[in-house]
Amino acid sequence: MAAITALLIVAIAASAAMYMLSQQSALLGQVVLVTARAQADLYARAGIDWARGVVSADGKGSGGFDSLGEAWAQPIAALPVERALVAGSLADEQGKFNLNNLVGADKKVSANDEKIARRLFASLGVPEELVPAIVDWIDADSDLYTTAGAEDAYYLGLSRPYRAANQPMVQVEELHRIRGFDPKVVARLKPFVTALPVRTAVNVNTASAEVIAAIAPDLPTEEIRRFVDTRTASPLKSIQQISERWKALPLSAVGNDLDVKTSYFLARVQVSQDDVQVASEALIERKANNPGVAAIIWRRPVY
Ligand SMILES: [Ca+2]
Ligand SMILES: [Ca+2]
């Protein structure tokens, strides 16, 4: 009897040990994954910081203009860092139309920017009647800008109610919350529009032909195409060069709506390590009056 009990105890102990081992190995697997994730996240942070360094280095030596031929515009495909692969790229956010331009610092609607936005939307096949809804989302008041606008009264009536921001958009994804902007419309617009903290001009050296055409409707489309096709090798280097090349352009647009340099870049970093992939993006501002200094405005994970 004693022998049988002893055998039983050994068997239970053995199976308990097996059970504990398998639990431990599952836990160990989780720890490995969490560690790899944390490490990949650190690499992503380091990558964004490195991008900030690239922007500031460019500011020290760019000679007053920014173009796609410069070092910052060259993506890094896959840089091995210890066990990880790090890839990254920088894009000029001032190659896009800044939706926050629609409402000026004086809190009034900018009629000129509204026209630009309407032309841009129309050229992309997006109803231009969606523009007043953005104006109302941004402007401080709760009065409808036009009958096509939308303020609290509309948003509070939704099945999951919220209020209009009534302040400049922080990220362009806020479009999803604005009346009339379904995922299809937002996806169509996103390559061409942005949301930056201050009024910005569009950099002709990086903007798409659609954005330039929306700002300068009097320029022949072929001329804009020709410029876009050749600008990497021969960018415009000053606002004087913009006026010289495009005499049809109203002087008020040069420097105010169109420029040759930028202060806002979007950095994207992807890290893959073991089975873990982490992506992160950040908006980087380079100080216009101190181009050697670059700061991160926001940083977020990308899923
Ligand atoms: Ca409003
Ligand atoms: Ca309003």
pLDDT tens, position by position, 36-62: 888 888 999 999 999 999 999 999 887
pLDDT digits (tens, 9 = 90+) for 222-258: 999 999 999 999 999 999 999 999 998 888 889 899 9
CA of 143 to the centre of ligand 2 (A): 4
Find the 256 Cα to ligand 2 centroid distance in Å.
24
Q: Is the pLDDT score of 9 beyond 90?
A: no
Q: What single string gives the DSSP state of each residue in the chain? A: -HHHHHHHHHHHHHHHHHHHHHHHHHHHHHHHHHHHHHHHHHHHHHHHHHHHHHHHHHHHHSTT---TTSGGGS-EEEEEETTEEEEEEEEEGGGSEEGGGGB-TTSSB-HHHHHHHHHHHHHTT--GGGHHHHHHHHSSS-S-SSTT---HHHHTTSSS------S--SSGGGGGGSTT--HHHHHHHTTTEE--SS---EETTTS-HHHHHHH-TTS-HHHHHHHHHHTTTS---SHHHHHHH-TTS-GGGBTTTEES--SEEEEEEEEEETTEEEEEEEEEEE-TT-TT-EEEEEEEEE-
Question: Cα(258) to centroid of ligand 2, in Å?
Answer: 27
**Ligand closest in space to the Cα of 149:** 2
**So what's the pLDDT on residue 83?**
85
**Each residue of 132-187: pLDDT tens digit?**
999 999 999 999 999 999 999 999 999 999 999 999 999 999 999 999 999 999 99
Q: What pLDDT does residue 18 have?
A: 67
The owner of tokens 């060259």 is 74
Residue 215 Cα to ligand 2 midpoint, Å, equals 24
From the CA of 140, the nearest ligand is 1
Q: Minimum-distance ligand to the CA of 163?
A: 1
Band of residue 128 on the pLDDT scale cut at 50, 70, 90: very high
Close Cβ partners of 136 (under 8 Å, ≥ 6 residues apart): 144, 145, 149, 150, 151, 164
Domains and CATH numbers, the chain: 2-94+263-302 (3.30.1300.30), 99-190 (1.10.40.60)
Supply the pTM of this predicted model: 0.87
How much distance in Å is there from the Cα of 135 to the middle of ligand 2? Answer: 7
Q: What is the pLDDT of residue 4?
A: 57
Distance 163 CA to ligand 1 centre (A): 9
Taking a C-beta distance cutoff of 8 angstroms, is the pair 75, 58 a contact? no
